[in-house]
Each structure stands twice: as structure tokens, then as C-alpha cells.
Amino acid sequence: MPIEKNTHIVVDNSLIIYQRERTRVWQCKYLLKGKWYRCSTREHDMTAAIRSANMILMEAHMRERFHVVPTSRLFRDVAKLAIKRMEEEMRVGEGRVIYKDYIFVINKYLIPALHTKFIDRITYDDIQDLSVWRINKMRKIPVKSTMKNHNAALNKVFDEAILRNYMKGADRPKLQATGKPSERRPVFTMNEARRLIKGLDLWIRDATTENLQVRLLLKDYIYVLLDTGARPGRELFSLNWANIQYASYTNDRLVIHFEKSKTGRRTAIAKRMTIEALDNIAKRNYGKPLSNLIEYQTTEEIFRHKSVFVSQIRGQAKLIRPINFEKQFAAYLKMMNLLIDRLTGRPRTFYSLRHTYATFALLYDKINIHTLSKQMGTSVEMIEKHYSHLDSEQAIDQLGSEKTMALLDAIDKPKRNLQVVKS
């Protein structure tokens, strides 16, 4: 085969060293079990590079002998190692819940965009190309919080490369979260929330036989979201009766243990609306009050409704997870002229109820942000970021409070007729 001046065959059909344009460092390419692998010899001298390449091939054969799969320095291979490490850490309980998001980002965005790049040769221009590619993939400019998430995922891959000595820390590109600012989230005002609740019973009365059970459950679902600030979807749908208990000091509060939350296990406090909603579900589905279900500690999931089809087993209706819940909610909001938030111009969703809970908790219940962050399973920074629009005019009740001044005025004031004693 013809040999270029910057290519040297060390072992026929097995080992080659070569130089790229604009660099004096020799690269190594070797064949192992029918697959070619590439890496840097990190040598400028050809003799030293040949010696290094032979050592690399020998080590590769040793790893293969002991069933250690050799990995190239291509981004896609290092990324797979990073994913494997995160999955293993989650399996043994040492990983973070956010690792699932990182793995999703790596698989959907980073590997497709950077898969043929060498991990130690990714440049600022490559990062810029990734940004353009990502916008085309998403068909929109990602918000700043999304960019932070993507950058964290990319840094996990770089961490893996540095840990395996595939690159030096100085070679890590600096990443910046330059996405557009997060948009204000659609919420309900107090008057809109009242209309939302008030119209539910009439909407349920107009339901067909097929929709009745779904609408009844939807009402209870709305109540719990407004009362607890829980995340709609998996967080609530995975909740079972064993996760619920009465607060030790009173029966008008519930303690809810969320097992499958975005941020891991957490505990929240629920009040009257949730108690009413869960009691309705217990009576509809089991013919028993909430107190009995809490006492039995059954692991059956809560947010289920009776199927209109009768089960063949004992002639009882089967309990099923609702489908098209979002469509039912959107249809109800549209009917009530509540679907579009007039302030943001965006449609409201179940998450609007979570954001409404946070807004009301800050404005009316006067809950401090540290307590609220624990209740909602989010960070103080996220609450400050997304609810900073609650300005002084909206919070006038809190800022106009006289409680502090009343306490200060209660302090015994010094008597004015004290005489100064001269020394």
C-alpha cells in the first residue's frame, strides 16, 4: 500500500502511526478483534512514537485477554463510559436523580453532535457548532436553565476522560450557559383559581358515563396540586396509600412521602383540600373513608378511577390510571375561558397549578422560601428565580405589616426624667 510521508506502518494490518496537519504529535491507530482504535502516542519523535505505539497495542491485547473492553478516545465511547458510571452510581444509591436527565441529554444531543470528535481535541469552535446543531434539533433557542443542564452533562463526559487520563484538565473547554432567559410561567390569579374550582361540579354533572369517573378524579387531582404544590405526572401517579399518614399532632394535616420525585424522596404537608380529595377517592374506589385506607397502608396507587368496563374477576370494576388527563384539563380550561394566561400569552397546564401554589404560598400564607423549597422539592435559587416578579405592590400585605413595630414598641422605654450624675 502507498505510504504517505506522515504515515508509518509499524505492524502490517495491525499498527500504524501518523501525523495530522498542523501538529507534530504522532497518533496511533491499531486493530483489535476486527475494530480499529485511535489514540495519541503523545510523542513528537518518530522513534519514541513507535515505541509508545507498540506499548499501546500490547496493553490493548492484555485488556482484551482479561475481558476489559478497550475504549477509543472518541467522544461517543467516552460518553458511554460516563453513562455507565452514572447508571452504576444510581444503582447502588450513590448517584443523583439528575443523572437521568444527564444521560438523556448525552444520548439525544451530545453523542449525535460530537460522536466522531476526539475527546482531547474538542475546541471552542466545536462547542459553537454543537450550539447551532442543538438549536436546529430543538427548533428553538434553549433557555438558560436548559443550557446549564446540557453543560453539566457534557462536563460529566469530560470528567470521565480526565479520570481515565484520556485528556488533561487544561484541555477541558470552558462552557457558558448563554441561552435565553427563562420565561415567566403561567399561573392562575386568585379570582381565576376560584372560578376554576367553582365550575368543576357543574362540569362533572354534565359528564357522559364514559367521562364521569375521569372528571371526578380530575377534580381531586386539581385539589391536591393546588394544596401541596406537587409535581403533576409521575410524582402523583406513583403515590400509594402507604405513602400517606396523618400528622402526629392533628388529624387536619397529612404527611405525604413522595417516593418517585424528580429530586429524590421527599416529604410534604397537605391540608384540607387534599384530605377532602383523597377521602373522595377512597370512598369511590373502595367504599371506605380515607382513615381506613391510611390504617391499612395498602400499596395500591391512589390516583386511579373505576373503568366503565366491568372486570371478569368478581364482577368488580377495575381501577385504572387515567389517560388523556391533560386533554381533559385543557378542554375544561378552554370552556371556562381560563386556558390562556393573559399575562404571558401561553396556555396553562397542570404545572400552572404547581406554580400557582408557590405564588399563593408566598403572597397569602407568607411561607418563607426555605420552607417552601423543601415542601416543593426544589431549590431556594429556583424559587427566587421564578417568583421574583412578586413585587412590593403584590406583597403589600406582608410589607405593610405592623407586627414588628408593635413588638418593638412593647419594649420598656427608658424614663425621660433620669438625671445625669456628674462625676
Residue with cell 407568607: 366
- Distance between CA 214 and CA 402 in Å, rounded? 47
CB atoms within 10 A of CB 275: 21
- Distance between CA 113 and CA 121 in Å, rounded? 15
% of the chain beyond a pLDDT of 70: 84
Regions of the chain with pLDDT less than 70: 1-5, 66-71, 178-183, 249-250, 309-316, 388-423
pLDDT in the model for residue 406: 64
What's the grid cell of residue 28?
496511533
Q: Sign of the C-alpha dihedral, residues 157, 163, 164, 167?
A: positive
Task: Give which of 336, 337, 332, 384 is closest to 358, Cα–Cα.
Answer: 384
Query: Which residues on neighbouring strands pair with residue 392, listed in sequence order?
Result: none
Cβ–Cβ under 8 Å, residues 57 and 14:
yes
pTM for this entry: 0.60
- Distance between CA 70 and CA 3 in Å, rounded? 27
C-alpha distances in angstroms, 119 versus 77, 90, 421?
9, 25, 81
The strand ranges marked E within 141-210 are none
CATH fold group of domain 190-399: hpI Integrase; Chain A (1.10.443)
- 299-317 residue pLDDT tens: 999 999 998 765 444 556 7
- Distance between CA 403 and CA 338 in Å, rounded? 37
- Tell me 176's DSSP state: -
pLDDT in the model for residue 312: 43
